[in-house]
């Protein structure tokens, strides 16, 4: 999809991600007052601009909801990814979240080089026990929303200038 619908969806997603990032940085929480209206907005935009993708969006949101029940990551983060999926589509959500994960790993390695071995061991343990909330031993909680925002900005720049 190109043109005005994509710009509207991208602008809406950016606004949601900026609001969520501010909350996440300040409180390490993303409130439902940001994510739930965004998910509803996403359904409305999908119905207007790309109704043919509605079944895929519904399935993706159901899967994200299921993963949320497993406590693999913070509930606010899951709902934020659901909002990005609903507003901008599954591809945008996957790319933004993938870039966010890579950025977090890279920045954590730079900020905590002495913890690399411990964090890697704890991450492997988390993969097998499915307890992801606190992978690092000192309880560092990393706000994920700003990284998703960075991933989404990269996606916009790529689509506008590099593609």
With a CB cutoff of 8 Å and minimum separation 6, the contacts of 116 are: 109
Poorest-pLDDT segment among 30-44, 83-97, 104-118, 120-134? 120-134
> Which of these ranges, 42-51, 64-73, 95-104, 120-129, has the smallest mean pLDDT?
120-129
Region 60-82: mean pLDDT is 87
Angle value at C-alpha 79, between 118 and 106, nearest 5 degrees? 30
What residue segments make up the domains of the chain, in order of their start? 4-162
CB 41 within 8 A of CB 9: no
CA distance 10 to 94: 15
**pLDDT for position 122:** 67
């Amino acid at each position: 999809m190109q043109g005005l619908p994509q710009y509207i969806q991208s602008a809406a997603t950016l606004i949601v991600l900026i609001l969520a990032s501010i909350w996440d940085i300040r409180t390490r929480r993303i409130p439902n007052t940001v994510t739930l209206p965004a998910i509803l907005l996403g359904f409305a935009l999908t119905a207007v601009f790309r109704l043919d993708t509605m079944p895929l969006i519904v399935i993706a949101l159901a899967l994200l909801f299921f993963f949320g029940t497993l406590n693999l990551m913070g509930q606010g983060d899951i709902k934020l990814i659901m909002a990005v999926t609903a507003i901008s589509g599954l591809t945008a959500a996957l790319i933004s979240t993938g870039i966010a994960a890579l950025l977090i790993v890279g920045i954590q390695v730079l900020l905590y080089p002495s913890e690399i071995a411990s964090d890697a061991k704890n991450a492997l343990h988390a993969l097998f026990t499915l307890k992801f909330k606190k992978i690092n031993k000192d309880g560092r909680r990393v706000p994920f929303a700003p990284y998703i925002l960075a991933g989404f900005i990269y996606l916009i720049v790529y689509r506008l200038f590099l593609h």
